[in-house]
Amino acid sequence: MTPISPHSHLRRVALAAALAVAGVTSCDSEPSGPTGPGTIVVTVTSPNGPEGAAMVELSGGIALGAAESSSGDVFVEHGAESSRVVVILDQPGQIRFTLRSGNVGSPPNVVLVQVAGGDNQLRTSLDGYDVEVTAMTDASPSGSRRAP
């Protein structure tokens, strides 16, 4: 079992507190392009620079599966109508994760729920954040869309 460092413990505590907080940033446009199984890449761009962690909620989409990030830990909870993904980076940076999908032609709507800065403090506002969803079939990219 990997020991939990005080730094990552603070992020986990901050994100546990974020479960009670709801922000609103949603995706409404539909991408065009190929369909079929593939990978959805979700990228959060911050007006504050490098971030430490984020929680997003995904709804819709088809057969959403495992999520991963090359720069931190990812926790996923799939529900009947939505999924929650928490990304905790090893070092502050841009929040980005991939998610398997049964049909990238029907990507999920994404809502940014909460963000913790590189100092492990929850952001008081989600104004200015941008969430981009890029869908790629197992063969090639199929399109992207941004949340306002």
Structural domain spans, the chain: 6-147
Q: Name which of 26-40, 103-117, 123-137 the model is least confident about.
A: 26-40
pLDDT tier, 21 (very low <50, low <70, confident <90, very high otherwise)? very low
Give the list of residues 6+ apart from residue 108 with CB closer than 8 angstroms, or none: 40, 58, 59, 60, 61, 64, 83, 101, 133
> Which letter does DSSP use for residue 105 in this model?
T
What is the arithmetic mean of pLDDT over 132-144?
Answer: 73
Residue 84 predicted with pLDDT over 70: yes
- In percent, the amount of the chain with pLDDT more than 90 equals 42
> Which letter does DSSP use for residue 127 in this model?
T
Q: pTM for the whole thing?
A: 0.72
Q: Mean pLDDT for the chain?
A: 78
Q: Which has more pLDDT, 143 or 68?
A: 68
- Per-residue model confidence (pLDDT) at position 70: 86
The torsion of the CA quartet 119, 125, 127, 130, rounded to 10 degrees, works out to 50
Q: Which has more pLDDT, 48 or 70?
A: 48
Structure tokens at 113: 């729920």
Q: Which has more pLDDT, 129 or 25?
A: 129
Rounded to whole angstroms, how far apart are CA atoms 95 and 113?
13
SS3 for 15? helix
Residue 28 predicted with pLDDT over 50: no
- H or E stretch at 143: strand 141-147
pLDDT tier, 87 (very low <50, low <70, confident <90, very high otherwise)? very high
Cite the beta strand spans of 20-129 per DSSP E. 38-45, 51-60, 67-68, 72-78, 82-93, 95-101, 108-117
Residue 46 predicted with pLDDT over 70: yes
